[in-house]
A and B are shown apart, each in its own frame.
Chain A
């Protein structure tokens, strides 16, 4: 890696300009993308720690495994669809096409809302079945993990709504290309997180 090699530089030996005519960042990409990259690592740490806590808590005797409702498969499908729609919008805008970008992008966000609604329905179903936040720690973790995941998705939807408003009020897709790319990346990340959470929740 270029930046790692730089760590061996002896700055006291070399004088003069290093690099080209322009300032150079460590990463050859937009600052927003670097920031999102860091944020995704932060979020990964967050979800990893929740997961580790889950496994540690699971070992204790009062843990009673939860039977996850089948509707979660449908919800997972919705999130996959949402991610795919974002990817299609991103592919188009990357190729410089403007047609259908707005539709795909809006649809991606709306399907994500449907996913959250689906998650809420599962919550309602669990409550009807008498599975509350307390006393079973497995249920506590179920509500906590799905809730934190949904909150991250809502944060993404806030950015999505801002970009959507710009697109609806006449901005060209190429003007919001970066936002679309970042949203897509974030959606894929949340999809991977959900798949991991779903796998853990269903198998324990």
Chain B
């Protein structure tokens, strides 16, 4: 769990306290972070397989950006 928070904090270092708080108290936020990490790990995995770098990788990258945006919105909205 701690490792997961750290991954999100690394993306938004200015919101460390807020992320920690939301992670402890908000189930929606935890789900969103889990989705983000799953997506990010898929992108990494795809990029290591060069032959697989394709529309699917781009789709996951777009999705990762969208989720990142959602996390930021959630952090700032609930601040």
Answer yes or no: are A and B bound together in one complex. no
Residues of A in contact with B (beta carbons under 8 Å apart): none
